[in-house]
Amino acid sequence: MLARLRAISSSKRPAGRRSALRGLVVPAVVALVLAFVLKTFVFQVFVIPSGSMMGTLQKGDRVAVDKFSPWLGDTPQRGEVVVFRDPGGWLPGNSDTGGVAGGVRNALSWVGLAPSADEKDLIKRVVAVAGDTVDCRAGHPLTVNGTALDEPYLYPGATPCDDYPVGTVTVPPGHLWVMGDHRNDSADSRYQRLYNPGGGFVPVDHVIGRARVLLWPLPRWASLPVPDTFHHLG
């Protein structure tokens, strides 16, 4: 009788282990799928890759990018900080994704906690939208549709247009004109206009989403609103 009880008890152990394992795996899979859906359709954490947005964002900062609004038909507006895919030739070739570090990075990217090493994404401020006329001359403030912009968000000491004075340009339909807040260290639309056959304009359908919140580092947590100067452009 005792031997029979032992046999019954031992036969239940694997089932109990399987049940416990299932109780751990299922929630983990659900959490990963949910994270993937959120990353794909709602928001994604983006790591600032360079100093081109200094004045507002530092290299290494983490921002939350709203990917849901474009699904609702919202289009980028003047003054917004947006993440967009490389229109062509704005960034160098892909970086190495091998080794353990590459594997960890790819895993974090899959759930939206880091950008993929082979993603060619940039972050800039929208200065002008389709139909706008931009005037960018050395020694003068940047103007949009004839109105000079007051730009307190610029990095201290940065000039509006001195580095790449492109003169007057008009943004074509379906495109944006974008610029970094650290104008002296930003290969933005001005630079691309002068040195890239693509002309410096960003297709609206290349925009991934709007950067809404500076998440990290925590002491600098802040929202990223549209500066007042753009509200006066109509």
Question: Per the residue annotation, which of 52, 109, 186, 189 is the catalytic one?
Answer: 52
- List the catalytic residue out of 50, 67, 109, 124: 124
Please, what sign has the CA dihedral across residues 232, 85, 130, 200? positive
d(Cα 234, Cα 224) in Å, to the nearest integer?
Answer: 20
DSSP codes, 137-195: -TTS--EETTEEPP-TTSPTT--SSSSS--EEEEPPTTEEEEE-SSGGG---HHHHHHH
Which tokens in the block code for residue 217?
């580092």
Active-site annotation holds for 39:
no
120 is catalytic: no
User: What single-letter amino acid sits at 24?
Assistant: L
Kindly report the number of other CB atoms within 10 A of residue 204's CB atom: 18
Question: Which amino acids are annotated catalytic?
Answer: 52, 124
